[in-house]
Each structure stands twice: as structure tokens, then as C-alpha cells.
A and B are shown apart, each in its own frame.
Chain A
């Protein structure tokens, strides 16, 4: 990675969930850590998220769901990314996600899941250590 270039992150809310406190707090922390953050706003379809990721040429997609729809929507985003051949984008997820769901989400390519109580600094460090571009 070129050190001059700022890390670009797409913060995304897939599905119908309206809880955006977490994603906004994380987005603010990433900005404070010097990253550039594009926030999709609420109610994005997986397709819209993937399109935005390409359009904005991001290094990272940070997905957030607290409604329980992660089991359907996260894999859907990953499937569309794969179809587009975008395996160089680091994808992370957060929200109310039961531990027992995490292995399946990781298996489809989500690098890490951050649950309630996560320190935003841990997310910053994780992104810096795991960038693919």
C-alpha cells in the first residue's frame, strides 16, 4: 500500500435496519484515524453497496446490521463482490450477531465481525493490519 494514499472505507447499512448509531460512531472514529469514509445511509441493497464500493474505489467495506438480517445480507454482498472479481476489498461486519453465526460469515469472506462493546481503536488497527490493496 502506498503510504501517501488515504485508506478509503465504505460504511454501509444493508437492508431495512435503522440503527445507525454504531456505524456512525465507527465512521467518525475511522475519520479521526485519518481514513476517508463514505457512508451509504440507510436501506441499501447488496447490489447498491457493491456498486458504491466500485464507484468510490474503496479499500474497505464496513457493514452494519442490528436487525438479524446479517445471515442473508452479508453473504449476498460477498457473493456480488466475488462475481465482480473484487477480492481485494477488505470486508468487515458489525452489529448484534450471535457468535454461532460468525464461522459461516467468515467462510464467505467477511474478514472479521465486531460485536457490541468493541473498541473503535480495535477496528482501526484491524483495518490497518489487514488491508488487501
Chain B
């Protein structure tokens, strides 16, 4: 047996090798002077044990299912069960979306993910003036419990898990879901799913806010309290880096701003008197899967390690489940091109693979046509099949964290961890995430990264295949999926009929009760549930809250 090389000799050997290579660079130059990823982290020519020798395995990586969860949140990961394949879908009316959900379930999808239209997300009924032109466009229009009953018609809620991308009116949509379940004879304890309920990133990145931050944070913590008491299997928040990244952030910023928002939610819940281990295990996350393959895998691992540390050391959580980042991933919509759209299938497949190698709990793969329109059924099917091919054919899910121990990946994981932690420190010094958003800091940081990214593309420093290299003359695809404008009229008719049939006195009473609760300090979930069951509309409930809480106005972060 040969003797093992010690660290010092290895460093020397590495240095000798590097010098040898560099001496020949004049003749055989590398493609670029400096190699950087999106987070501006320099990428070295080669990674060796030299780069990871001061990394302590047990404290930095540990075992899957154990602190600090770098290698995954479950001990067996995909050897036990594959990630949940969950395609975000919804458009037009509740009837149409219901059909799409049933199609997806028949195709082997294992969870639902509801996209709501913008009026629903911003608390307007389909007949509101502000809803003109938007009804049913980016998601399904839900104005009352009646629409929700149609949306889940024939879908047994005790057998699916449902994710709902809803933030400002999250309490109302959750209440509607509970009410539909009750009508199906399913109790709240049996329900599994997620509401996004992440208002902070709405102010910084996504834009579907209604109320100012303070009352919004109260609604968030009211939901935490209600769920940990009554809907124990429900994820009461999905803290989302996805939209921060889509708005243009780097991978490091995605981790930093998302976890900083997470800190703000935990602090708000603690201030509201909740116990960290009562709601901690029900916090979930949502990340992007962008194109830089290793940077993305490292990002998920770094985020897991960092959140675990924050929950354990900063918030003194005791329950290991409070320290775990369980997360959903969606591939990056912003990387899809309208040019040669079929290339997007390949982009999505690589991004999805990164998410799987990063240990995601659920995954949405984008459809190839999303830079053009809403996804067609065929495009959605290919997107889902891409996940199934990764799961069933590639073998990457047969061992836990298969890339763990890669010198490159471990170094990158540490770099992202360190840089994100430093960012969070900076945000702490500004008074936390809410204050940093109020000052426009987060928005400006994201904007600057987005602008830099675009400039890199325009200068040709960043190649996007089919866009700034390898272009072709092509016909734009025709017969794109469109939402029938009659959807709005149908919705208005339906609303009118529903309002004429409901018990108006019951509605008025419920809304008055909600107003009293909003003016006081009672948990808002119960009065919202009562109002929903009385068929008060989403718009009426939000208007009642607008009266008490007021509305948020965006600050200008563009001025120079």
C-alpha cells in the first residue's frame, strides 16, 4: 500500500501543477481572463482537496436528515420517495382549471399547484373595474367559495396536497379551501398543502401586495397561529426566493434576501407570542433553479446549512424539524427564450436536474412556450416528462446528495454560505428585512443585478443560445393558448347570481364581525372563515380589511 499524501505535500504539488499550466497559457490561452458565476464568485481552474481541507465534515456537512442538513433534510431522500412533481397551473374559469388539474393528475403528477389570476391575488372580484383585462389571464379567477367549490370538484382533498400561490389574501383562500374540504367531509387535520403567504417579497419583487407591511405581517402570524393549532400538516408559509431571482437577483442574493425575510417572519411570530417550535416545522421555502448548474446545487445546500444555523443559534429552536429547509423549486422562467423555444426544453431539464441534485422536496418544470404565452397541454406534458425522466431513468436519485464531497461543489457551497451570511448581517444592521425593503435597499440590489445581467447579454459576455449566438430566422409559433375574453363576462354573471341567492344578512354580519376583529387584536382567521362560508366574496372581505388597514403604495427605487 502506498502512503497517503499529507496536506502540505498536496499543496506543494498543486502549486507546481498550477505554475506548469500557467507557464503555457501564453500559447494555449483559456477562453476567458476570469471565470465568474452569477454571484461574481471566481471559479478556479481546478478544485482539489486543498480547497476543502479545512472543511470539517461533521459540522459543515453532517448526515442527511441531521443538522446542519447540508446533504438533505431526510435520511433516505429520493431512495424513499421521489420529490413531488407539482406543475403550477390555472387559467380562465374554475371549470377550465379543474379540467387541467384532472389532466395533470391523470398524467402522474403527484400534487396540485394553483395559479390565481391577478385580481384574485390583489383582492378584487372579477367584476371590479381594476380587474378589466386581467380576469383569468395568469391564473384562475376565484371570487367566492362557489368558484373554489368548482375548482376542486371531484378532487378528493384528503388525497392530494395542494400548493396555492397566494399572498396578501392567503387567509381568505385558505379559508375557502378549508370550507370546500368540510363540504367533502375532510377535516382540517387531514389537509396537506402550502399557501405562499410571503408578503415581504411582494413588496421587493413580485408586486401583489394589498395592505401596508404592519397589518400584513399580522395576517401572516395569525395564519401561523391558526394553522399550528388547527391544520397541523399545512405549510403556513412558503418563503420565496423564486421571485427575487426572477426579478434579477444573483444566487447569493436569492439565499440572503429569502432567509432575511424568513428571519423577519420568525421574529414577528415570536413577538406575537408563538413558540418557535410550534410554527418552525411548518415553514417551507421556494427557490429558483437557474442555469449555472453547480452554483444552483451549491445554493440549495448553502441555504439549508444557513437556515439550520439561524434557527438553532439565533432563535434557539430545539426541534430539528424547525431547522430544516424543506423547499419547492421552479425552473427559471426568466431564462426561457422566445427565440427557438424548443431549446427551452433542454434548459428546463438541466435546471430541474440541478434542483434534484440540490435535494428539492417538490418541483415545477417550466414549459417551453412560457416566454410566448400560457403553456399548452403538450408543452406541460413534456415539462412533466422531463421530471419523470430524471426520476426514473437517470439514476441520480439512487443515492443521497450524489455530488456531496465534490471539491468544487463543497467550496462553492461554503462561498455562497459565507456571502449570504454577510449580506444578512448587513440587512440586520439596517434593522432587518422589512426596514431594508422600506429603504429600497433590497429592490436596488436586485435591480442592479438585473441590469448587469442584461448588459452582459447585450455585450455578448453572457451567451444565450439562440438569442445572442446561434440565431436563426424563424417563424413565430401560432395558435398559442389564449384565455377567452368571455371568461370575465361569465364570471360577472356567476357572481351576480350567487349574490342574489346568498343570505345577505349573514354576509353583512360576518363582514361586520371581521371588521371588529381587524380593528382589535383577535386572530383574523376565524372571522374570515365565517365570512367565506357565508359566501362573502374575496373582494368584499379585502375591502373590509382595506377600510381598517389602508393600502400600500410602492416606493420609487429607480431614481438616480
Interface string of B453-474 (1 = CB under 8 A from A): 0100010000010010000000
Cβ contact within 8 Å between B133 and A15: yes
Cβ contact within 8 Å between A68 and B558: no
Partner of A39 from the list B137, B248, B553, B556 (CB cut-off 8 Å) is B556
Interface string of B538-560 (1 = CB under 8 A from A): 00000000000000011010101
Segment with Cβ contacts to A, from B292-300, B331-339, B395-403 = B331-339
Cβ contact within 8 Å between B337 and A16: no
Which A residues are CB-close (under 8 A) to B467?
117
CB of B163 within 8 Å of the partner chain: no
In the complex, A29 Cα to B478 Cα: how many Å?
31
CB of B476 within 8 Å of the partner chain: yes
Residues 309-348 of B at the A interface (beta carbon under 8 Å): 334, 336-339
Cβ contact within 8 Å between A117 and B556: no
Which B residues are CB-close (under 8 A) to A42?
207, 554
CB of A57 within 8 Å of the partner chain: no
Known: A67-B138, A100-B478, A120-B454. A72 touches B132 (CB 8 A): yes
Q: How far is the CB of A74 from chain B (nearest CB, A)?
A: 9
In the complex, A31 Cα to B559 Cα: how many Å?
10
Partner of A98 from the list B131, B372, B553 (CB cut-off 8 Å) is B372
Interface string of A108-131 (1 = CB under 8 A from B): 000000011101110000000000
Range, interface on chain B: 35 or more
Interface string of B120-153 (1 = CB under 8 A from A): 0110100000111110011000000000000000
CB of B50 within 8 Å of the partner chain: no
CB of B246 within 8 Å of the partner chain: yes
Q: How far is the CB of B442 from chain A (nearest CB, A)?
A: 13
Cβ contact within 8 Å between A24 and B137: no
Cβ contact within 8 Å between A39 and B476: no
CB of A96 within 8 Å of the partner chain: yes
Which of A's residues lie within 8 Å of B, judged by CB? 15-21, 24-25, 27-29, 31, 37, 39, 41-43, 45, 67-69, 71-73, 76, 96, 98-100, 115-117, 119-121
Which of B's residues lie within 8 Å of A, judged by CB? 118-119, 121-122, 124, 130-134, 137-138, 202, 206-208, 246-248, 334, 336-339, 371-374, 447, 450-451, 454, 458, 464, 467, 476, 478, 480, 482-483, 485, 553-554, 556, 558, 560
User: Could you show 8 A-B contacts with beta carbons less than 8 Å apart?
Assistant: A18-B202, A21-B247, A31-B560, A68-B134, A68-B137, A68-B138, A96-B371, A100-B480
Which 5 A-B pairs rank lowest in CB-CB distance, beginning with the nearest? A18-B207, A72-B133, A69-B133, A16-B118, A68-B137
